Amino acid sequence: MDIIANYGFELVLLAGLFGFFMAWGIGANDVANAMGTSVGSKALTIKQAILIAMVFEFAGAYLAGGEVTSTIRKGIIDATYFVDTPELLVFGMVASLLAAGTWLLVASYLGWPVSTTHSIVGAIVGFAAVGVSADAVTWSKVGGIVGSWVITPLISGIFAYMIFMSAQKFIFNTNDPLTNAKRYVPVYMALAGFILSLVTIKKGLKHIGIHFSTSEAMLLSTAIAVVVGILGVIAIKRLKVDPAADKKMHYASVEKVFAILMVVTACCMAFAHGSNDVANAIGPLAAVVSIVESGGEIAKKAELVWWILPLGGIGIISGLAIFGSRVMATIGQGITHLTPSRGFAAELAAATTVVLASSTGLPISTTQTLVGAVLGVGMARGIAALNMGVIRNIVVSWVVTLPAGAALSICIFYMLKGIFAA
């Protein structure tokens, strides 16, 4: 308790710096999930993608990042072990932010798309298990995360394969792709409107105190889907293409329609991502601020001080602008060749998986969801369409993320303990 009373300001300052660093890492690595496919399919340039993501990620983080946040993400550790020694939880959270941020910096430099959630969870598990007690960790939650390495990419990959193959069957592999596009693309637009509305409602609006029941969310999303579908019919009817042109020209025109769809899906995914994943940086920071301000009392939820959300939002867009292009290149170009229709199938599949996971409580990573979806699209063209070397590196980086975060966190935890307890 004396440590918190004597060094409260210094600990909050460190937590703020490392929280910004962690948010920077989220921007550098995780934002590519929303924008990588758009860049890879050439629906957007890297500059356009970064500008759009900066706006929507910041809006999601700042407007819907939450007035109150869980102080310990995913319930991964038992706070009762820290009641008598709250300073250990403060050291642990500060260490976790620096450890996770450092791992994200390394992964982003190497172009590896890793999970920011798993990075911070691994860091928290590390300091708690080694620095306090192995019993302080809820190991069943860790097991669920390890299981998600297989389940999440598999589900999104299957969805992406089905969406892409349906577009091939109904549009691209027909005698008149443009006429069929005018018939079926509004259906894809309505489906995208429904799924993306659900993502925004379930993962975004709840953070600003707007709560909808499942049935209300479904009804609202259905209404939005109908409107989007009608707008799609009107927009596509205006598409004028020379009927005498060859099939290649018709294919190019259809891909242009999917490119526009991809920009919309990317914006919605960026908003939902910003609202949800900013908590990986501000949750531990809010915990430190809450413990210091209350003189050592540990709360399950913490009111956010006014400066925390802007700090998280600015950190995300800074990381994206400075370092985001590396991971974007891996997702958009490294795994398989993407066109707007393939990228759209991948993004819609990823969004669908996120909605399903949110409603069932399945622990997922947006990174693994999108990588799985891109793999699914690639598999639709055969195994030869996939870059197995890149895929191997990605899988290795996923496996390494938890232990890397844990090892770094343990080292930093003991350093902080030595500095402040001396």
Looking at residue 86, its pLDDT comes to 84
Tokens coding 130: 């080694």
Looking at residue 18, its pLDDT comes to 96
Task: Give yes or no for a contact between 30 and 281, defined as CB atoms under 8 angstroms apart.
Answer: no
| Number of Cβ within a 10 Å radius of residue 150 | 11
Tokens coding 77: 């550790």
Looking at residue 239, its pLDDT comes to 67
Looking at residue 69, its pLDDT comes to 55
DSSP per position, 51-86: HHHHHHHHHHHHHHS-SEEESSGGG-B-GGGGSS-H
Task: Give yes or no for a contact between 121 and 128, defined as CB atoms under 8 angstroms apart.
Answer: no
Looking at residue 16, its pLDDT comes to 94
Tokens coding 97: 């932010």
Kindly list the domain boundaries of the chain, sorted by start residue. Answer: 2-421
Looking at residue 200, its pLDDT comes to 73
Sign of the Cα pseudo-torsion (259, 260, 262, 263, in order): positive
Looking at residue 204, its pLDDT comes to 59
Series of mean pLDDT values for 10-residue runs along the chain (422 residues)? 77 94 92 80 85 84 63 69 84 94 94 88 90 84 78 90 91 83 87 83 64 82 90 77 66 81 81 77 86 77 78 89 86 86 88 77 77 90 85 90 94 90 63
